[in-house]
Amino acid sequence: MRRMTVFALCVGLVLGLSNVAWTLTGNEILAKVDEVMNAPKDRVMVSETILIDKNGNEKKRLSKIWQKGDKERLIKFLEPPSERGVGFLAIKDEKGDETMHLYMPAFKKVRRIASHIKHGSFMGTDFSYDDTATMRLCDDYNAELVREEDKYYVLKLIPKPEAEKEYSYVMFWVTKDNFLTDKGEFYDKNEKLLKVQTNTGWKKYGEYWQPTEMKMHNVQDDHTTVMKTNEVKFDQRLSDDLFTVRNLKRPPK
């Protein structure tokens, strides 16, 4: 009996150590988030954007988004007519250096987004230029696993010094079963809650995941941006020629 008890304790200890050894770190979880969100070779999406002010007034836009891998993204506005043709291009090179360009048809000029502007609102939305351009979180943040809940890993993301982020930190709720981000809280430099993002209506297209709705609420300004996915296609063999300043100036199709 004593030998059996000792054996059981040893097995329990080994299994306990095994479980500890296999616990994912915050950075490993964040890497899996990046892997899931950037799994497609490319994607083409039509999105409806709704801007809602504190009085409930709404403004609607329609845009088309192209993304290739985790380093190239192009956005062109389709509606309303006054904003048709406005374009945004974000590219990250192999060294990790990122460039952003904005094209305004009314001025027929492409403007490069300087570092001191990238934290500003992207076209009146609650997403900054930097939010809009970011494709790989691991490039810009170190993640700590703060706690586990029934359904979620709760991560605290601290910006890397070279990333020059507008946030002091970000909290993410990541689903344990498939590493999707259902919620994010963004804190300003004074560590006060600035924005809350929720991603809902996740759909799986083959092996790829896409939320049908993303909502960003600025709690300090009481302003909300809702982005609804109207159409999405994956692995369309997009050419790198699509993600150029020259193409940025072309009218959307």
The distance in angstroms from the start CA to the end CA of the chain is 78
Pairing of strands 42-52, 58-68: antiparallel
CB 50 within 8 A of CB 39: no
Convert the pLDDT of each residue in 120-157 to its tens digit. Answer: 999 999 999 999 999 999 999 999 999 999 999 999 99
pLDDT at 244: 96
Q: C-alpha distances in angstroms, 146 versus 22, 137, 149?
A: 17, 17, 10
When pLDDT is averaged across residues 222-245 and rounded to a whole number, the result is: 97
In this prediction, residue 162 has a pLDDT band, given cuts at 50, 70 and 90, of confident
How far apart CA 220 and CA 193 sit, in angstroms, is: 8
Question: What's residue 84's pLDDT?
Answer: 96
- For residues 202 and 213, is the Cβ–Cβ distance under 8 A? no
pLDDT tops 80 at residue 16: no
Residue 192 CA to residue 180 CA, distance in Å, equals 25
Burial class (CB in 10 A: 0-12, 13-18, 19+), 194: buried
Domain ranges for the chain: 26-248
Mean pLDDT, the chain, as a whole number?
91
Burial classification of residue 106, based on how many CB atoms lie within 10 Å of its CB (0-12 exposed, 13-18 middle, 19 or more buried): exposed
pLDDT of 119 > 60? The answer is: yes
pTM, rounded to two decimals? 0.88
Alpha-carbon distance of 25 to 31, in angstroms, equals 10
CA angle 89, 235, 91 (to 5 degrees): 20
The pLDDT of residue 11 is above 60 = no
Q: Encoding tokens for residue 106?
A: 């009314």
CATH tag, 26-248: 2.50.20.10
Nearest 5°: phi and psi at 54?
-65, -15
Work out the percent of the chain whose per-residue pLDDT is above 90: 83
Q: Where are the alpha helices (H) located in the chain, listed in sequence order?
A: 2-21, 26-37, 129-133, 245-248
Confidence label for 96 from pLDDT (cuts 50, 70 and 90): confident
DSSP 88-104: EEEEE-TTS-EEEEEEE
